């Protein structure tokens, strides 16, 4: 039952995009920013398995790379890399929970090109290795 509840919580986090916006809906420019941010988040969530560059995201938001990085952090409280990695790690937890794929296969499946970096990032976010996470949640 607990595993099912955790799965529902993670599913909700994914659907909601794990972003709290720092905007006032009364301000028109804020609404434009929200629209741009939603496009960027949707792109990340659709393309997380592939390499994602800041240039790609900046182009979607119609900002220079410099201004985009500042914009993203001001709106989400996270850097782009933090958000992308968090999203990928959450996807990895589902694969660890629901499949028998190896850690290496999962790392590549969720967009990490380097297994060591995946394991390091996983530990950073969840304070446990992917292998221990899988054993604990089976």
Q: Is 131 domain-assigned?
A: yes
- State whether 75 and 89 are in the same domain: no
- State whether 48 and 71 are in the same domain: yes
Q: What range does the domain containing 69 cover? A: 18-80
Q: What token pair was written down for 63?
A: 């900002």
- State whether 76 and 23 are in the same domain: yes
CA distance 53 to 131: 29
Q: Is 54 exposed, middle or buried (0-12, 13-18, 19+ CB in 10 A)?
A: middle
For residue 131, how many other CB atoms are within 10 A of its CB?
Answer: 13
- State whether 41 and 62 are in the same domain: yes
- CATH (domain of 64): 1.10.10
- State whether 25 and 76 are in the same domain: yes
- CATH (domain of 94): 1.10.10.60
Q: What token pair was written down for 89?
A: 């790690």
- Of 90, 12, 96, 84, nearest to 47 (Cα)? 84
Plot region of 82 (φ>0 → left; ψ -120 to 50 → alpha; else → beta): alpha
- State whether 70 and 88 are in the same domain: no
Q: Is 54 domain-assigned?
A: yes
Q: Is 88 domain-assigned?
A: yes
- State whether 57 and 37 are in the same domain: yes
Q: Is 12 domain-assigned?
A: no
Place of tokens 């809906």: 25
How distant is the alpha carbon of residue 5 from its chain centre?
Answer: 20
The confidence score (pLDDT) of residue 100 equals 95
In degrees rounded to 5, what are phi and psi of residue 50?
-105, 160
How many distinct structural domains can be found in the chain?
2
The confidence score (pLDDT) of residue 28 equals 63
pLDDT tens-digit profile, the chain (138 residues): 555 555 555 555 555 555 555 555 556 666 777 889 999 999 999 999 999 999 999 999 999 999 999 999 998 999 999 999 999 999 999 999 999 999 999 999 999 999 999 999 999 999 999 999 999 977
CA distance 72 to 40: 9
């Amino acid at each position: 039952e607990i595993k099912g509840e955790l799965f529902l919580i993670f599913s909700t986090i994914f659907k909601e995009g794990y972003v709290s916006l720092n905007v006032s809906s009364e301000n028109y420019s804020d609404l434009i920013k929200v629209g741009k941010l939603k496009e960027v988040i949707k792109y990340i969530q659709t393309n997380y398995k592939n390499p994602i560059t800041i240039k790609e995201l900046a182009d979607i938001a119609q900002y220079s790379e410099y201004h985009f990085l500042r914009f993203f952090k001001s709106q989400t409280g996270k850097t782009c890399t933090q958000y992308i990695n968090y999203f990928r790690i959450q996807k990895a937890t589902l694969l660890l929970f629901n499949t028998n794929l190896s850690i290496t296969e999962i790392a590549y499946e969720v967009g990490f090109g380097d297994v060591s970096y995946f394991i390091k990032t996983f530990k950073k976010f969840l304070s446990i290795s992917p292998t221990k996470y899988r054993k604990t949640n089976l």
